[in-house]
Amino acid sequence: MTLTWSSGRTLAAGIALIALTNTIALGGVAYNRSGEPESVLKLTQREVLAPHGYGLDREGGGLQLHVSWRVLGPEWDDAYFWNFQGTPEWLDEAKLASLGFDVSPPPVERRASWRYDRQLPREALVVLELDGPAYQKALERARQREAKEAAKGAETGKTGPGTSAAQAALFLKNEETANTRLFAVDVGRDARALRAKYPDRTRYAIVQGKVRPYHQSGRGKDARWTGYIEVIENARVNVPLEFRKAVESAPRSIPYAAAAPAGPAFEVTMAFGKRFEPWILAAKP
C-alpha cells in the first residue's frame, strides 16, 4: 500500500476530518443541552468560587467558576475543614462493590496486602445535594460543638480570641453564612436508579466523578474497605461572556465571619444535561 494522494484529496480529507470532529463535539453538546435539563441548581458564591488569580493573570484564557463541594465525614473533627472531601460516612463496602471494586478481605500476610491498596479509580455517578439534610447535619454538628466548647470555656474561663470556644463560634458562623452547602451524598452507576432515589431535580444533581477505594487497617470492624471521591468531572464551569459582568462585579470570595459578615454576592443558575455536563443558564449579582 502506498499513499500517493493528490493535494485536492488531501485538502478534502483534512477538511472532512476537522468538520466531522467539530460536528461530533458540538453534536454532543447539543444532545447534552436538549430538552429539559437533568437538574437545575441555584448556586450562590458559597458553592461556586472564582479563581484567585483571575484579573491578575492576563493570559488566563477566560473565566471559569469552581464548583465547591464537600462530604460529611464520619468524624466530628472533619467539620472543621470547610471543604472536607475525605471519606464520606456513607461510602461502605456494599457501595464500593456496586461500583465494581473488589472488597474481599485482604490477605493476612503483610507482604501481600499491598496488592489490595492499589485498586485504581473507577468512573461513577455522584449525587450532589444542595442545602439538604447533609448540610443541616453539618450545621447541627457545628452548633453542638459550639455549645460544648462554650460550656467548657465557661467552666475554665477560657473564652477569649484563639481559644477552642472562640474557634467553635467562628466555625459555626462560617457554617451558617459562608461554607458550601453542596454535599456529595451518594454514588452509583445507574442514573435512573439514583434519580428515583433523589427525585428533586432542583436540590439533587447527578454528575460524573471518580471513586478510589482503600483498605482501612485496624482490628475487628475497624478493618474494612472504604474510599473517597477523587474528583468530580467538570468542577470548573466556563462563564460565557454574557454572564461575566455579574460574576466579575462580585468580590473574589465571601469574607469569612472573622473579617466581616457578608452574604453571597451572586447567584448562578446551573443546569446539568443528559450527559451530566453543566452549563450556566443565568447569573445575577
Partner 1 sequence: MFGEELARLEREGVVALTPAQRNAISAHHRGLLAQFSQEFDIDRDARAKQLSLGMRIASFLGALALAASVFFLFRQFWDRFSTTAQVVILIVAALGTFGATLWIQARESSGYFTKLAAMVAFACFVINISLLGLIFNITPSDKALIPWAAFALLLAYTCDLRLLLAAGILCIIAWISARTGTWSGMYWLHFGERPENFFPAAVILFLVPQWIPHGRFTGFGPIYRVFALLTLFLPILVLSNWGRVSYLDFEENSIEGFYQVLGFVLSAGAIWLGARRHWGEVVNTGSVFFVIFLYTKFFDWWWEIMPKYLFFLVLGLTAVLLLFIMRRLRAKGLFGGSAP
| Residue 190 in the binding site for partner 1 (CB under 8 A) | no
What is the C-alpha end-to-end distance of the chain, expressed in Å?
A: 63
According to CB under 8 A, which one of 3, 56, 108, 196 is a site residue for partner 1?
3
Site for partner 1 in 199-258 (CB under 8 A): 208, 210, 233-234, 236-238, 240-242, 244
Closer to partner 1 by CB, 104 or 136: give it: 104
How many Cα atoms are found within 13 Å in the side-chain-facing hemisphere of 19? 6
Q: Which stretch binds partner 1 (CB under 8 A): 27-35, 163-171, 172-180, 194-202?
A: 27-35
Cβ proximity of 65 and 49 under 8 Å: yes
Scanning 18-26, 80-88, 144-152, 188-196 for contacts with partner 1 by CB under 8 A, the matching segment is 18-26
> Would you count residue 163 as binding partner 1 (CB under 8 A)?
no
Q: Does 111 bind partner 1 (CB under 8 A)?
A: yes
Work out whether 189 is an interface residue with partner 1 (CB under 8 A): no
Rg (CA), the chain: 24
Q: Cβ closer to partner 1: 178 or 211?
A: 211
* Per CB under 8 A, 26 contacts partner 1: yes
Residue among 27, 100, 105, 263 that touches partner 1 (CB under 8 A): 100
249 phi, psi to nearest 5 deg: -75, -15
Minimal distance in Å, beta carbon 62 to partner 1? 4
| Residue 214 phi, psi (nearest 5) | -155, 155
77 is an interface residue for partner 1 by CB under 8 A: no
Rounded Cα gap, residues 19 and 17, in angstroms: 6
If one asks whether residue 61 binds partner 1 (CB under 8 A), the answer comes out as yes
Q: Is 105 in the site for partner 1 (CB under 8 A)?
A: no
Q: Which of 34, 36, 115, 189 binds partner 1 (CB under 8 A)?
A: 115
Residue of 53, 56, 94, 118 interacting with partner 1 (CB under 8 A): 118
- Bridge partners, 214 (sequence order): 226
Select the residue interacting with partner 1 from 37, 106, 188, 278 (CB under 8 A).
278
Q: Which residues is 64 bridged to in the sheet?
A: 238
> Does 112 contact partner 1 by CB under 8 A?
yes
Q: Where does this chain bind partner 1 (CB under 8 A)?
A: 1-5, 7, 10-11, 13-15, 17-18, 20-22, 25-26, 28-29, 32, 58-64, 100, 111-112, 114-115, 118, 120-123, 208, 210, 233-234, 236-238, 240-242, 244, 275-279
